[in-house]
Structure 1
Amino acid sequence: MGSRTNTIHAEIQDPGSKGEVLLSVRDLTVAFGDNVILDKLSLEIRRGEILGFVGASGSGKSVLLRTILGLIRKQSGTIRLFGVDLEKANELERLRIDMRLGVLFQHGALFSALTVLENVQVPMREYLDLPRKLMDELARLKIDLVGLPPDAADKYPSELSGGMIKRAALARALALDPDIVFLDEPTSGLDPIGAAEFDELVAKMRDTMGLTVYMVTHDLDSLFSVCDRVAVLGNKKVLVEGTIDDMLKSDEPWVKSYFRGKRARQLDLAARVEME
């Protein structure tokens, strides 16, 4: 097992070219019984970009994310990751793909009985055959990378602040040096300063590590400050996608209300004051 996973890990380190489509979703339909959640939805994300994914509560954002990750079965359509159709992927191909993905679930989802160090090591134990000492060193590197102090490694989730939990969860998502990181409401529950710091961290990771980021969020600050593109989910499919400028020009009622409503105007005013 050790030799196989090490070979797989070596094979998947080709960084590829910036702008390459890493995730392609085409005509995806997901339903629970007669309740159709997503109807022929299409979406793609390219290497090196931060895609913000938004939509009204209950619109299916988490369902889409969990379907892409293979946690929910689809009724029809195709999902391709790194050029591979997931439905046709064999066990080895699926293992290779899983090792290229990192996930930060809502609220961090850390294992309460494990220390931060042990939480970060979970993907390493699942996919790699490494000596304990090397795993400790790699986990501590990830903990430092996300801006946590060294002593955080030996703390349990109950001993961490909300912001530290998010950073620890990000360290775990980065454990295998993934190509794509999926972030589900990463700044929810954080104060404005903590949220801004987390956004800066995500942007830094993208720029220094070449990460591609799929970010489900309601945070307008995140959308305006770090996202290269935004996709809006509505009516069971992607209504609009493009830059923030595209969102501001859209005449779709929900998009217009969200990006040009009262809160958005306050955000724009604050940005103008800061520039002055």
Structure 2
Amino acid sequence: MPQQDGTIEHLNGGPPGDDVVLSVRDVTVAFGNKKILKKLSLDVRRGEILGFVGASGAGKSVLLRTVLGLNRKQSGTIKLFGVDLDKASERERLRLDTRYGVLFQQGALFSALTVQENVQVPMREYLDLPKKLMDELAQIKIELVGLPRDAGAKFPSELSGGMIKRAALARALALDPDLIFLDEPTSGLDPIGAAEFDELISKLRDTLGLTVYMVTHDLDSLFSVCDRIAVLGDKRVLVEGTVKDMLASEEPWVKSYFRGKRARQLDLAARH
């Protein structure tokens, strides 16, 4: 909740550990007569990087958008930091909104704003800060994600794909959140750029104490940075666990995805 001095009043975060930051229980989502998710349940634990994977069109982004309140659910319960979103007061929702950041697919930067102005959007919405302080804070976030100092003055059209992803991540970190949602963060990046972005996410998790919910189809990301993986299929979570659990699973889609030809080299690396 914004205070008079412009700081953010957080809910009690609690110590790192296995406590649940996001709890999804029996959630059903439908568009018209077509059910996309049916009685889906999932937990995201404090301090972990959770990879959420599934076939194209299975509903990975639908669940993310439902958690964010952009899609309506038919039934079920979603709790964020222990607060039932259906029962939260306006004040509680405002406080929760400052505790998470989102990196949407393709970055979703405002094309008419500079990188610095994009990063400042959450600050302007939730805080009351002098322009000079916002400029300083935005610059800190820009450098935190590995962008050069002069990137703040550039427009999205002047950035490479990798720089757009980093600028969008800087915006997601604008309010010093506890939880960040990443929707296909390495999509469209070359292998080197994707690996560098994965490394950045891992370092930020460790240094800032973040919890990361990552929707991805990138096997390298799943193998290299995710503590746990949840697999979406048949409108629910089929399997969840570590990479080793995925490699041991006999679920047909999971077996094909994690032990197929494209995964063979990663499979061998994980076993040694």
Shorter-normalised TM-score: what interval? over 0.9
CA distance in 2, matches of 1:218, 1:11: 33
Alpha-carbon contact 1:5-1:127 (below 8 Å) kept: no
Aligned to 1:136: 135
Match of 1:35 in 2: 34
Instruction: Name 2:158's counterpart in structure 1.
Output: 159
Equivalent residue for 2:217? 218
Partner of 1:117: 116
Is the CA contact 1:27–1:39 (under 8 Å) kept in the aligned structure 2?
A: yes
Does the residue aligned with 1:110 lie in a helix, a strand or coil?
Answer: coil
Helix, strand or coil: the match of 2:86?
helix
Paired residue secondary structure (2:257)? helix
The residue that corresponds to 1:179 in the other structure is: 178
> 2:128, 2:229 → 1: CA distance?
38
- The CA deviation at 1:16 is 3.4
Distance 1:184 1:144, change over 3 A: same
The answer to whether the Cα contact below 8 Å between 2:22 and 2:45 also exists between their aligned partners in 1 is yes
- In structure 1, how many angstroms separate the alpha carbons of the residues matched to 2:12 and 2:76? 28
Specify the code of the residue in structure 2 equivalent to 1:189. G
Change (3 A) 1:260 1:91: same
Q: CA deviation at 1:154?
A: 0.2
Alpha-carbon displacement from aligned partner over 1:42-84 (angstroms, at most 9, x marks no partner): 0000000000000000000010000000001100000000000
What amino acid sits opposite 2:226 in the alignment? C
In structure 2, C-alpha distance between the alignment counterparts of 1:16 and 1:79, rounded to whole Å: 22
Give 1:242's aligned residue: 241
Instruction: Show the counterpart of 1:79.
Output: 78
CA–CA separation in structure 1 for the residues paired with 2:19 and 2:131: 36
Matched residue type, 1:190 = L
Q: Aligned letter for 1:265?
A: R
Greater helix fraction, Structure 1 or Structure 2? 1
Deviation at 1:236, TM superposition (A): 0.2
SS at the partner of 1:113? Answer: coil
The CA deviation at 1:34 is: 1.0
Is the 2:78–2:85 contact (alpha carbons within 8 Å) kept by the matching residues of 1?
yes
Could you tell me which residue of structure 2 aligns to residue 267 of structure 1? Answer: 266
Report whether the alignment pairs 1:146 with 2:141: no
Kept after mapping to 1: 8 A contact 2:27/2:41? yes
* CA distance in 2: counterparts of 1:260 and 1:2, whole angstroms: 48
Given that 2:23 and 2:80 are in contact with CA atoms closer than 8 Å, whether structure 1 keeps it comes out as: yes
Q: Distance in 2 between matches of 1:122 and 1:13?
A: 25
Q: Which letter does structure 1 place at the counterpart of 2:115?
A: V
| SS of match in other structure, 1:108 | coil
Equivalences, count: 271
Deviation at 1:101, TM superposition (A): 0.8
Equivalent AA in structure 1 for residue 213 of structure 2: Y
Partner of 2:56: 57
Deviation at 1:219?
0.3
Distance 1:106 1:172, change over 3 A: same
Partner residue, 2:96:
97
Distance 1:14 1:40, change over 3 A: closer
CA distance in 1, matches of 2:5, 2:233: 40
Matched, 1:189 2:188: yes
Report how far residue 196 of structure 1 moved.
0.2
- Check the 8 A contact 1:146/1:170 in 2, yes or no: yes
Identity of aligned residues (%): 78
C-alpha distance 165-48 of structure 1, shift in aligned 2 (>3 A): same
Could you tell me how far apart the structure 2 residues matched to 1:183 and 1:17 are? Answer: 21
Partner of 2:199: 200
Q: Note the C-alpha offset of 1:12.
A: 3.5
Q: Find runs of 4+ consecutive structure 1 residues off by over 2 angstroms.
A: 1-7, 10-18, 266-269
Closer, same or farther: CA 85–5 of 1 in aligned 2, 3 Å: farther
In the alignment, structure 1 segments of 5+ residues that lack a partner are: none
* Structure-2 residue corresponding to 1:19: 18
SS at match of 2:262: helix
- Distance in 2, Cα, partners of 1:264 & 1:145: 32
For structure 2, the residue ranges without an aligned partner over 5 or more in a row are none
| Equivalent position SS for 1:39 | strand
